[in-house]
């Protein structure tokens, strides 16, 4: 069976720096043509993994294959990959056109072909009008486009991106997220994208690997990771989350009544319960937008908890609430769909509804 072009296979990869194990035997597969993100806090090993994929660092153990080919004996300049760094690493003495053409000229590609490919890729990322400028004459967003063009012009099977939008302001970063995703879909190149920005990873990725301390905590599609995190770390790193300790009181085939710090709650395990649901004690997680606030006298029905509004943060599109239920803190988020959407005030007593299907049983 021939491996899919651009597909990446990593098996039991280990990288140590003295006594520090930056990668602790990780394995994963990136499908050809997908936008795959490595997400995690600083020091989790995501950039180390990216450097090993690109041949800029060597593992202490393990195998990397790209398109089915073992990359261990292949140096960086011969691998079917290109890397875009956060610093962009443009040559300051060359204009935009020559920066983009540099890699092709090093490969001694015919002049006519260089002109054709450089012209095509500059049109693709909308930098034709910048052709004669030097990097110092460009904005951050323009430099980012030039760095992308310089990488794409080499027609790699895989494009490695190390936080390429990290130095940009918020509005430009969001604009370029859309442009980058559109470009990836158009080119069909496999993108491996390193970021510590959870929203960025969710918005752009086909799949995400959440990393922690040199290991992969969970891999999955963006929606699946957000809606069904398996661990406390993933639930809290990939967006805000409230955690509740739970002890099973009564159990059914696909649900349980549990005792928690906010009182007894019903938990719906769903159609495919995890092994953790069979334990007598476990941790529950619930996303803020799933916690619904109602008036203090609306106590009829299950999973309703009396709370006090301790804090609120108005962020334009939504209002975020910090709620107190005895010793337990809960988070709630309400979209401001009307002028009077954030009708609850600090110090007010209200009722929080925690839907049974929104209470997630974690593995740890």
pLDDT tens readout for residues 149-197? 888 888 889 999 998 887 677 787 888 888 888 888 888 899 999 998 8
Asked which of 55-69, 230-244, 293-307 is least confident by mean pLDDT, the reply is 293-307
140-152 helix and 170-187 helix, angle to the nearest 10 degrees: 20
| Whether pLDDT at 64 is above 50 | yes
Strand ranges for 234-327 from DSSP E: 242-251, 255-260, 263-268, 281-286, 292-294, 304-314, 318-325
Q: Where in the chain are all domains bearing CATH 3.40.50.300?
A: 8-230
| Whether pLDDT at 1 is above 50 | no
pLDDT band (50, 70, 90) for residue 88: confident
Beta bridge partners of 30: 8
Asked which of 106-110, 127-131, 162-166 is least confident by mean pLDDT, the reply is 162-166
Euclidean distance between CA atoms 296 and 305, whole angstroms: 10
Beta bridge partners of 345: none
Fold of 240-361: OB fold (Dihydrolipoamide Acetyltransferase, E2P) (2.40.50)
Q: What is the pLDDT of residue 333?
A: 93
Asked which of 166-180, 292-306, 346-360 is least confident by mean pLDDT, the reply is 166-180
Residue 150: name the closest of 220, 219, 95 by CA. 95
| Whether pLDDT at 340 is above 70 | no
Q: At 327, list the tokens.
A: 């010793």
Q: What percent of the chain has pLDDT over 70?
A: 97
Q: Looking up tokens 């980058």, which residue turns up? A: 180
| Whether pLDDT at 145 is above 90 | no
- Terminal CA-CA length for the chain: 38
| Whether pLDDT at 282 is above 80 | yes
Q: Where in the chain are all domains bearing CATH 2.40.50.100?
A: 240-361
pLDDT (mean) for 127-140: 91
Q: What is the pLDDT of residue 341?
A: 57
Q: What is the pLDDT of residue 77?
A: 86
Q: At 108, list the tokens.
A: 């001694």
Beta bridge partners of 208: 37, 220
**What mean pLDDT, rounded, does the chain reach?**
90
CB atoms within 10 A of CB 60: 12
For residues 22 and 214, the answer to whether their CB atoms sit within 8 Å is yes
Residue 258: name the closest of 354, 329, 333 by CA. 354
Euclidean distance between CA atoms 176 and 339, whole angstroms: 31
pLDDT tens readout for residues 201-237? 999 999 999 999 999 999 999 999 999 999 999 999 9
Q: Which residues contact 310 (CB under 8 A, 6 or more apart)?
A: 322, 323, 324, 329, 346
Q: What are phi and psi of 14, to 5 degrees?
A: -130, 135
Euclidean distance between CA atoms 347 and 325, whole angstroms: 12
Q: What is the pLDDT of residue 75?
A: 93
Q: Which residues contact 340 (CB under 8 A, 6 or more apart)?
A: none
Pairing, β 20-30 against β 8-17:
antiparallel
| Whether pLDDT at 48 is above 90 | yes
Architecture of domain 8-230: 3-Layer(aba) Sandwich (3.40)
Q: What is the pLDDT of residue 315?
A: 85
């Amino acid at each position: 069976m021939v491996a899919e072009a651009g597909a990446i296979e990593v098996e039991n990869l280990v990288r140590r720096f003295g006594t520090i194990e930056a990668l602790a035997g990780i394995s994963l597969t990136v499908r050809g043509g997908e936008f795959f993100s490595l997400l995690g806090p600083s020091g989790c090993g995501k950039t180390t993994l990216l450097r090993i994929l690109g041949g800029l660092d060597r593992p202490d153990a393990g195998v990397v294959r790209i398109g089915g080919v073992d990359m261990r004996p292949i140096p960086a300049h011969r691998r079917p990959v290109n890397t875009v760094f956060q610093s962009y690493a443009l040559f300051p003495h060359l204009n935009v056109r020559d920066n983009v053409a540099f890699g092709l000229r090093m490969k001694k590609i015919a002049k006519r072909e260089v002109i054709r490919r450089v012209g095509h890729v500059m049109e693709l990322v909308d930098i034709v009008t910048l052709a004669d400028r030097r990097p110092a004459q460009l904005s951050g967003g323009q430099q980012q486009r030039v760095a992308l063009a310089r990488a794409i012009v080499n027609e790699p099977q895989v494009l490695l991106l190390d936080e390429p939008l990290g130095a940009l302001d918020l509005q430009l970063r969001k604009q370029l997220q859309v442009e980058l995703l559109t470009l990836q879909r158009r080119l069909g190149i496999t993108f491996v994208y390193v970021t510590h920005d959870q929203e960025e990873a969710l918005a752009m990725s086909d799949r995400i690997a959440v990393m922690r301390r040199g290991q992969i905590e969970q891999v999955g599609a963006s929606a699946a990771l957000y809606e069904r995190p398996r661990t406390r770390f993933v639930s809290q790193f990939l967006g805000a989350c409230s955690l509740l300790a739970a002890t099973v009181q009564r159990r059914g085939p696909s649900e349980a009544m549990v005792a928690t710090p906010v009182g007894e709650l019903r938990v719906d395990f769903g159609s495919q319960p995890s092994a953790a649901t069979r334990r007598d004690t476990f941790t529950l997680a619930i996303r803020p937008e799933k916690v619904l606030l109602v008036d203090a006298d609306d106590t009829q029905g299950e999973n309703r908890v009396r709370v006090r509004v301790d804090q609120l943060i108005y962020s334009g599109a939504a209002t975020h609430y910090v709620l107190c239920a005895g010793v337990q803190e809960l988070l709630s988020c309400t979209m401001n769909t009307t002028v009077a959407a954030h009708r609850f005030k600090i110090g007010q007593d209200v009722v929080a509804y925690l839907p049974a299907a929104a209470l997630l049983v974690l593995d740890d």
